[in-house]
């Protein structure tokens, strides 16, 4: 039996260091990922809807040659997965559906994918997802439903909509995953699979070439083993590092801080840090395991010198009003799908179609009013919270539910979906960058500790998240 080149959940930083030192090759990484994808007892066939076996193997050989010549870049030879929403040149972007099979192939790569490729990342394949990204549960009647690694024998869901992406990372079939987040689609599966998940400010990373769900709420994000990994990938996606042609080869890491926040720097960043914890809405109806782990995490931050304040932000109770009849999301989704729904509704996941149809017959004046109300709400909210560096609450209010409780029960499906999305959707509505940091509950239950910062403070959020991570993982 061949030895694994990297462990499941091994941080990107560790893999890069071993590549740089010559302990492993890109070829070894790809071969390990492919073995796991093709394991008949694994999740590969349901996590991936398309695997680039030959292409990835060829790319790995090229990357090894570049590294041998001292021409490596930020992601040279790192195997990544891509959610089935992103355009890849020459392929039809299916978005987890069967409805789009007759559409034209993409003429170019989505800019987010192009940025990863420009730094010599290797794409292992497209990952499965909720159809059209319209659910936080990750069920897909066309391609199957990926499962959380936690208590696999109980068949618990991985969360959605970036379900396959999270499982690809948790099972070591990729080092990290590119995804999207409209109401929690990166952070929910990250939390349910014991990983870190980062959602950017909506306008910060270009969304061209990504099949949309909501032009207002969509954002791009990543799932990876640690916050440090997310920070590193974000440097590429946000162009914090120059493109390949603008940077001298072989000179990427003159300073260790380019790669990660060191413990000493992390400790200094926590000095005078203020974290606000809203006491309404996002702390309601928590599973006991979630409540216990979140309370323990707050205590750990307090002992580390972080100022943690309970904040009675009552206006959060108004959030559900903005999602009545599906809110902006249903209107924008229906506007995009109305013709396909009229022509091919029977091919849609019925649970997705019925949510989209919540936007049918809505007036333009309603839509414009919703946009105005959201803008005013964001302004008032940020004024209310301006004294806090970060806000924190649990990523999801419950542990990963069992698939059999949701598959054939529409009432359970829709009520669970609302509860799963509740906490994460808040930051999409507010257009705040948001980060889910993994905690371990009792019985090793996967739990997410979510922090958010004001819009466009993504870099600072990730830096602070790196400083918080070692404290929260104790």
Q: What gap in Å lies between CA 288 and CA 215, rounded to an integer?
A: 36
Predicted local distance difference test score (pLDDT) of residue 442: 86
DSSP code of residue 147: B
Among the listed residues 163, 312, 274, 257, the one whose alpha carbon sits nearest the alpha carbon of residue 466: 257
Q: Strand 390-394 to strand 307-311: parallel, antiparallel, or no bridges (unpaired)? A: unpaired
Contact 436, 462 (CB under 8 A): no
Task: DSSP for 196-258, please give it.
Answer: EEEE--TTTS--TTB--S-TTT-EEEEEESSHHHHHHHHHHHTTSSPPGGGS-TT-S-SSGGG
The helix (H) or strand (E) run that includes residue 461 is helix 458-472
Active-site residue set? 83, 161, 185
How far is 243 from 245, CA to CA, in rounded Å? 6
Instruction: Determine the pLDDT at residue 251.
Output: 38
Q: Which two tokens stand for residue 344?
A: 């091919």
Q: How many CB atoms lie within 10 A of CB 195?
A: 31
pLDDT value for 254: 39
Global confidence as pTM: 0.96
Looking at residue 260, its pLDDT comes to 75
Pair 423, 397: CB distance under 8 Å: yes
Nearest Cα neighbor of 117 from 172, 178, 69, 164 is 178
Q: What is the pLDDT along the chain (474 residues), one digit of tens a residue?
A: 578 999 999 999 999 999 999 999 999 999 999 999 999 999 999 999 999 999 999 999 999 999 999 999 999 999 999 999 999 999 999 999 999 999 999 999 999 999 999 999 999 999 999 999 999 999 999 999 999 999 999 999 999 999 999 999 999 999 999 999 999 999 999 999 999 999 999 999 999 999 999 999 999 999 999 999 999 999 999 987 554 444 433 334 434 455 777 776 777 888 889 999 999 999 999 999 999 999 999 999 999 999 999 999 999 999 999 999 999 999 999 999 999 999 999 999 999 999 999 999 999 999 999 999 999 999 999 999 999 999 999 999 999 999 999 999 999 999 999 999 999 999 999 999 999 999 988 889 999 999 999 999 999 999 999 999 999 988
Q: What is the DSSP string of 370-404?
A: HHHHHHHHHHHHHHHTTT-SEEEEES-SSPPPBGG
What stretch of H or E contains 274?
strand 274-278
Looking at residue 262, its pLDDT comes to: 77
Q: Where do we find the tokens 């070894």?
A: 28
Count the residues in the chain.
474
Taking the CA atoms of 72, 75, 78 and 79 in sequence, report the sign of the dihedral they define: negative
Helix (H, G, I), strand (E, B) or coil at 50: strand
- Owner of token pair 């590429």: 236
């Amino acid at each position: 039996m061949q030895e694994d080149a990297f462990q499941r959940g091994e941080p990107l930083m560790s893999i890069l260091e071993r590549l740089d030192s010559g302990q492993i090759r890109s070829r070894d990484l790809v071969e390990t990922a492919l073995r796991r994808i093709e394991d008949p007892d694994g999740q590969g066939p349901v996590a991936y809807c398309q695997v680039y076996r030959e292409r990835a193997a060829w790319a790995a050989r090229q990357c090894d040659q570049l590294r041998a010549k001292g021409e490596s870049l930020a992601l040279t030879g790192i195997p990544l997965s891509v959610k089935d929403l992103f355009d890849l040149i020459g392929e039809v972007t299916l978005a987890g559906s069967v409805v789009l099979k007759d559409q034209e192939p993409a003429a170019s790569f989505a800019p987010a994918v192009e940025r990863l490729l420009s730094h010599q990342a290797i794409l292992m394949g497209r990952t499965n997802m909720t159809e059209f990204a319209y659910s936080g549960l990750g069920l897909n009647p066309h391609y199957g439903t990926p499962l959380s690694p936690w208590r696999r024998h109980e068949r618990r869901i991985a969360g959605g909509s970036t379900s396959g992406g999270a499982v690809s990372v948790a099972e070591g079939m990729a080092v990290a995953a590119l995804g999207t987040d409209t109401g929690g689609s990166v952070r929910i599966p990250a939390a349910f699979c014991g990983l870190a998940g980062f959602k950017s400010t909506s306008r910060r990373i270009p969304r061209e070439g990504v099949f949309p769900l909501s032009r207002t709420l969509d954002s791009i994000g990543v799932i990876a083993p640690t916050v440090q990994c997310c920070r590193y990938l974000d440097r590429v996606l946000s162009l914090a590092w120059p493109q390949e042609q603008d940077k001298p080869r072989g000179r990427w890491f003159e300073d260790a801080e380019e790669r990660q926040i060191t413990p000493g720097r992390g400790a200094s960043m926590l000095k005078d840090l203020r974290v606000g914890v809203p006491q309404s809405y996002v702390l309601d109806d928590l599973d006991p395991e979630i409540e216990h782990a979140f309370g323990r995490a707050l205590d750990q931050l307090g002992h580390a010198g972080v100022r943690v304040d309970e904040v009675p932000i009552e206006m959060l109770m108004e959030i559900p009003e903005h999602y009545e009849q599906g809110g902006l999301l249903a209107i924008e989704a229906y506007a995009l799908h109305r013709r396909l729904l009229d022509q091919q509704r029977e091919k849609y996941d019925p649970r997705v179609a019925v949510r989209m149809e919540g936007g049918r017959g809505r007036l333009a004046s309603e839509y414009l009013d919703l946009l105005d109300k959201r803008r005013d709400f964001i302004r008032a909210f940020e004024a209310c919270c301006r004294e806090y560096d970060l806000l924190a609450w649990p990523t999801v209010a419950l542990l990963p539910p069992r698939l059999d409780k949701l598959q054939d029960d529409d009432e359970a499906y829709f009520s669970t979906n609302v509860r799963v999305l509740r906490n994460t959707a808040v930051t999409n509505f507010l257009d705040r960058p948001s980060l889910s940091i993994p905690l371990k509950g009792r019985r090793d239950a996967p739990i997410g500790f979510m922090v958010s910062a004001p819009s466009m403070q993504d870099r600072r959020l990730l830096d602070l998240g790196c400083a918080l991570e070692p404290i929260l993982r104790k």
